Amino acid sequence: MPSEPTEAFVWIWLPAATEPVVAGRLEPVGDIVNFNYGQSYLRRDDALPIYLPELPLESGVIAPLPRLTIAGCIADAAPDAWGQRVIMNRLLGDGAADADPASLDTLTYLLESGAERFGALDFHSSPDDYAGRVADGAAGEVPLAELMEAARLVEQGVPLSPELDRALLHGSSIGGARPKALLDDGGRKQIAKFSSTTDPYSVVKGEYAAMELARRVGLDVAAVKLEVVLSKEVLLVERFDRPPGTSCRRAAVSALTILALDELSPLYASYANLAQEIRRRFTDPRRTLHELFARIVFNVLVGNNDDHARNHAAFWDGSELTLTPAYDICPQPRGGGETRQAMAIAADGNRMSQIAVCIGAAATYLLSESEAREIVDHQIDVIESQWQEVSELARMTEADRRYFWRRQFLNRYATEGYRQVAR
């Protein structure tokens, strides 16, 4: 078992910068991880707060906000379930399969995960020499088939060769529970999302179809494409926090951080509260609220009720927030009718996965009922008219189509009590 680190240094890519600078230091005190800006960073003319209100530009120890054990903007850059499994597999060897993720501490996960994490932060044991950061491995040079096989071995708790271990570690800092790796395709950073050995249905095909339909209904979404490797589909998602062809990084935070919540408080995260933050702190709030409403509607229509607050994010420029493209729109398994979204849609806490609930909450998103109905009707029309073409692009079998259509995509419960406007 590796010893627990006593500190970690936070490095940040400032806007348009191609190299990071050290911003400050993390130090655990019991279960809490405090942050302290470096004096050299505070003296910079271009210094920006890592995120407000959590980490204002000031000297001295900054404790996490109430109910948090670490600043949310730092937690956003930490590995999630899949990344933790990769790190455990690397550090614990044969014992990883049965180990509890809590057996490794927060700073270990931050320091041992890959440098290509979400947003513009990274973590290092040194405040002086970022070039000395442990190499991630040249993931772009490892064939996708080998990365997919490596992911399968990690799921089984099998230790990897040093080469594959370094390559898979490259993607360990990206959030989410599903197996994945990072690729560099001619200057475009991509996330490769693999099927899991435990998948009960074609998860990758379903996510591709949902993302493609989201683009077709007019949502701002991350670009995706589907590849076939060893007769299995792999979803490639272009990263929106990495400007193509540059070494720059865009700062971003999750909706969980914007709402000042932690992983243990998911029921307190709501779209209605996020809408309030959009009015107060986002660029172009009216347009952003309309986009958010359209995303909620689409999640309901395609059966994505895994729309928790980590699956929404915003760019941070040091003073304002701007909604990022949508991502992780993945239809979830369902048998019967009634289901709920991960985040409440209406101000009264209603999270039922129904269009009627969305329409009733339209004013929260600065929409009239007729404007909200226009968004809904357009999405239903596009999904119905383009489902066949998109399901073919997703390489769905007839069994796949039967599984998804009218169960996840346009489940009758979603539109129960809602009638489209005659056209």
For every residue of 218-274, DSSP letters joined together read: T--B--EEEEEETTEEEEEEE-TTS-TTSS----EEEHHHHTT--TT-GGG-BHHHH
For residue 137, the model assigns a pLDDT of: 41
Q: Is residue 422 part of a domain?
A: no
For residue 141, the model assigns a pLDDT of: 61
Q: How confident is the model at residue 84 (pLDDT cuts 50, 70, 90)?
A: confident
Q: Do 198 and 298 fall within a single domain?
A: no
**Range of weakest confidence among 198-202, 215-219, 355-359:** 198-202
Query: Which one of 205, 238, 271 terminates a domain?
Result: 238
For residue 157, the model assigns a pLDDT of: 72
Query: Residues of the chain with pLDDT > 90: what percent?
Result: 69
Q: How far apart are CA 63 and CA 228, in angstroms?
A: 47
Query: Residues of the chain with pLDDT > 70: what percent?
Result: 90
Q: Do 194 and 147 fall within a single domain?
A: yes
Query: Which one of 68, 93, 126 terminates a domain?
Result: 126
Q: How many domains does the chain have?
A: 3
- Over range 102-122, report the average pLDDT: 91
Highest mean pLDDT among 162-176, 226-240, 348-362 belongs to: 348-362
- Over range 341-366, report the average pLDDT: 97
Q: Do 119 and 163 fall within a single domain?
A: no
Q: How far apart are CA 96 and CA 74, in angstroms?
A: 25
Q: Do 360 and 294 fall within a single domain?
A: yes
Q: Is residue 183 part of a domain?
A: yes
Q: Is residue 260 part of a domain?
A: yes
**Range of weakest confidence among 53-57, 257-261, 332-336, 410-414:** 332-336
Q: Do 283 and 393 fall within a single domain?
A: yes
Q: How many other C-beta atoms lie within 10 A of the C-beta of residue 337?
A: 13
Which helix (H) or strand (E) segment is 24 a member of? strand 21-29
Q: How far apart are CA 409 and CA 333, in angstroms?
A: 11
Q: How confident is the model at residue 80 (pLDDT cuts 50, 70, 90)?
A: confident
Its pTM stands at: 0.93
Nearest by Cα to 190 from 228, 151, 139, 233: 139
Domain of 197 in residue numbering reads as 139-238
Round to the nearest angstrom and report the end-to-end CA distance of the chain.
Answer: 66
Answer whether residue 139 shows pLDDT above 90.
no
Q: Using an 8 Å Cβ cutoff, are 291 and 221 in contact?
A: no
Backbone angles phi, psi at 352, to 5 degrees: -60, 140
Q: Do 97 and 147 fall within a single domain?
A: no
